[in-house]
Amino acid sequence: MDELKKKGKKLCFFLPFLCIATLFLFVPFINMVKNSVTGTAGGFSLEHFADVFSKTIYISAIGNSIKISIASTVVGLIVDFLLAMAVVNLGKKKKSWYLSLLDLTSTFAGLPLTFSFITILGTSGVFVLISKNLGFSPLMNYNLYSLEGMFLVYLYFQIPMGTLLLLPAFAEIRKEWREAATLMNCGALRFWLRIGVPVMMPSILGTFGMLFANALTAYTTPYLLINNSIALLPIKIADMFVGDVRQRPGLGSALSIVMLAMILGVLGITNLVKRHFEKGKK
């Protein structure tokens, strides 16, 4: 009886979490699945999924979101790896200052971030105007309001989050390994390619999955920059629920499930590869 009472008390602490998870996760998800397979005339139907994979606008939205998400994730992961490596080698004061900067930049998003990028790289942005005066061609005709131009915006999302996620992984690299590699005349690049990166690969793959999901679901800043001038999956989903002309929650739910499937697919693949590297460690 005493053990049951103790277990009951422990379960009481999880009740608020279960209520929140039910109201904000499970109920909306079930409703989303229901709407996605309910036809316009009522009853079970896959017409919304047929629209998603047959109409050019939705195919373009999926393609554009995948392109910019993968590109920003790959480049961001490389930058994050180098930054995390640099932070690990910093002193305590410099490290705490840099971590505070990462925390600050990770929370700087939405409308303030949009205005910042417009001020810096917009049509009349500071860097663009300076480049025109100096004749610096890479920035003279920079178009922030295009898919290629928004790459820097997406890269900005990836750097703070990826660096913070990779920092604990560097604790797995022992100093003895570096010292032994140095004694065997092994350069830094060879050490990281042969030893460091393979050891950290599970953490790198996990970070890749998180960064991909972060980029794929980004909405506020891309919406404020391009609105509907470029098809992106999160923007199209939002339009189905809050559109001024016509709301189509069934189609929006189908698009949401497609996006969720893409995220789960990437996370599933990275987890399978992670297991391979984890078995190799053993």
Q: Where is pLDDT greater, at 243 or 168?
A: 168
- Residue 6 is predicted with a pLDDT of 63
Mean predicted confidence (pLDDT) in 122-141: 83
Is the pLDDT confidence value at 1 over 60? no
Half-sphere exposure of 76 (CA within 13 A, CB side): 31
pLDDT at 113: 86
The pLDDT value recorded for residue 243 is 61
Pick from 220, 273, 263: nearest CA to 73: 263
Say what the pLDDT of residue 3 is: 60
pLDDT in tens, 199-240: 888 889 999 999 999 999 998 889 888 887 888 999 999 888
Mean pLDDT of 84-107: 81
Q: What's the rounded mean pLDDT across residues 128-156?
A: 86
Rounded Cα distance between 20 and 29, Å, is 13
pLDDT of residue 102: 81
Q: Which residue has the higher pLDDT, 53 or 282?
A: 53
Q: Is the pLDDT of residue 280 over 60?
A: no
If we measure between CA atoms, which residue out of 262, 164, 273, 277 comes closest to residue 212?
Answer: 262
Measured on CA atoms in the order 62, 71, 272, 167, is the torsion positive or negative? negative
Indicate whether this model's pTM tops 0.75: yes
pLDDT tens readout for residues 19-51: 887 777 888 888 888 988 888 777 888 898 999
Q: Calculate what percentage of the chain has a pLDDT beyond 90.
A: 24
Which amino acid appears at position 130 of this protein?
I
What architecture is the 46-281 domain classified under in CATH?
Orthogonal Bundle (1.10)
What is the residue extent of each domain of the chain? 46-281
Residues 101-112 have a mean pLDDT of 80
**Which residues have CB under 8 Å from 103's CB, separation 6+?**
160
* Average pLDDT score over residue span 191-196: 82
Q: DSSP readout, the chain?
A: -HHHHHHHHHHHHHHHHHHHHIIIIIHHHHHHHHHHTB-TTSSB--HHHHHHTTSHHHHHHHHHHHHHHHHHHHHHHHHHHHHHHHHHTS-HHHHHHHHHHHHHHHH--SHHHHHHHHHHHSTT-HHHHHHHHHT-HHHHT--TTSTTTTHHHHHHHHHHHHHHHHGGGGGGS-HHHHHHHHHTT--HHHHIIIIIHHHHHHHHHHHHHHHHHHHHT--HHHHHHHTTSS--HHHHHHHHHH-SS---HHHHHHHHHHHHHHHHHHHHHHHHHHHHHHHHH-
